[in-house]
């Protein structure tokens, strides 16, 4: 009798143990599916590896991009799976948006720039000044920016630029006589956009054609999403293999700031 009771008691215990493991597995699977779903249709994290968007975005910034802002294309999906062409639930981007997009010449590399030119616009640079549809974009000098990148260090000119429609943003100019500070006229084709970095003299953007390893015009389909806000930022003084350097390298004042 004693042995029979032990067997009867032991069987439910085993079932409970097996059921508990199954619950854990189901919970993990559901959590992963939710995370993939959020990343696919809502927000995706990106980090900033270069200085082309200084002073708006700094090297070491981490931000969330809203995937739903412009609708969904193949580039909204993980690995750019070609499940459909064009965009669904599409919304037109606005001039001045900071946008992550897939580089048109390879369809794989993520770039982040500011949308300057809409379809049909004429864009030109003249001695460092931006012209949109033959009108010079106003800019106002503000305090110099303490700039350090690629061996260069020092204070550089910083401006508030006001785009047509009233969108204001900040740019820096190392010089008004750089290689792409004076250009021809770029007429933006239908369904495409003209992108520029806020670091005007150190940005590989739509001013540089694809055949010169540049960006060129960006098709609507290539837009991944709009940069929304920073969730983390750390400067170059941190070493990932030296955790004790992290607290002093975090840019606390940039955390949870919107991107504009």
Among candidate residues 182, 216, 218, 185, the one with its CA nearest the CA of residue 201: 182
Rounded to whole angstroms, how far apart are CA atoms 243 and 113? 31
Cα separation, 113 vs 99, whole angstroms: 6
Question: What does the angle CA 72 – CA 114 – CA 132 come to, to the nearest 5 degrees?
Answer: 115
**Alpha-carbon torsion, ordered 220, 223, 227, 232, to 10 deg:** -170
* Active-site annotation holds for 66: no
Cα distance between residue 170 and residue 53, in whole Å: 10
- 113 is known as an active-site residue: yes
Q: Exactly one of 73, 102, 113, 233 is catalytic; which is it?
A: 113
Distance CA 41, CA 38 (A): 5
Strand partners, 62: 47, 232
Cα gap 112→222, rounded to integer Å: 12
Cα 8 to chain centroid distance, Å, stands at 60
Query: Which residue, chain included where needed, has tokens 């943003």?
Result: 169
* Beta carbons of 130 and 162 less than 8 angstroms apart: no
Residue 114 contacts residue 196 (beta carbons within 8 Å)? yes
- The active-site residue, picked from 52, 73, 203, 233, is 52
223/97 Cα distance (integer angstroms) = 11
- Catalytic positions, please? 52, 113
């Amino acid at each position: 009798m004693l042995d029979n009771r032990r067997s009867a008691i032991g069987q439910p215990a085993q079932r409970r143990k097996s059921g508990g493991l199954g619950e854990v597995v189901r919970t993990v699977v559901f959590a992963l599916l939710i995370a993939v779903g959020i990343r696919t249709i809502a927000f995706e994290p990106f980090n900033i590896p270069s200085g082309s968007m200084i002073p708006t975005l700094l090297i070491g910034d981490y931000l969330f991009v809203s995937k739903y802002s412009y609708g969904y294309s193949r580039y909204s999906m993980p690995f750019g799976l070609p499940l459909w062409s064009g965009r669904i639930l599409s919304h037109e981007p606005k001039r001045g948006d900071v946008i992550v997009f897939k580089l048109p010449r390879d369809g794989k590399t993520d770039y982040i720039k500011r949308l300057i030119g809409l379809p049909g616009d004429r864009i030109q640079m003249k001695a460092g000044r931006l012209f949109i549809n033959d009108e010079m974009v106003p800019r106002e000098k503000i305090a110099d920016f303490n700039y350090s990148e690629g061996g260069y260090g020092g204070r550089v000119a910083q401006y508030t630029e006001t785009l047509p429609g009233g969108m204001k943003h900040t740019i820096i100019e190392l010089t008004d006589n750089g290689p792409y500070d004076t250009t021809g006229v770029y007429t933006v084709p239908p369904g495409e956009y003209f992108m520029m970095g806020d670091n005007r003299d150190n940005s590989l953007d739509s001013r540089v054609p694809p055949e010169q390893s540049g960006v060129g015009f960006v098709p609507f389909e290539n837009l991944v999403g709009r940069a929304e806000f920073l969730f983390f930022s750390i400067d170059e003084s941190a070493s990932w293999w030296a955790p004790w350097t992290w607290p002093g390298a975090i840019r606390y004042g940039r955390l949870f700031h919107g991107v504009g």
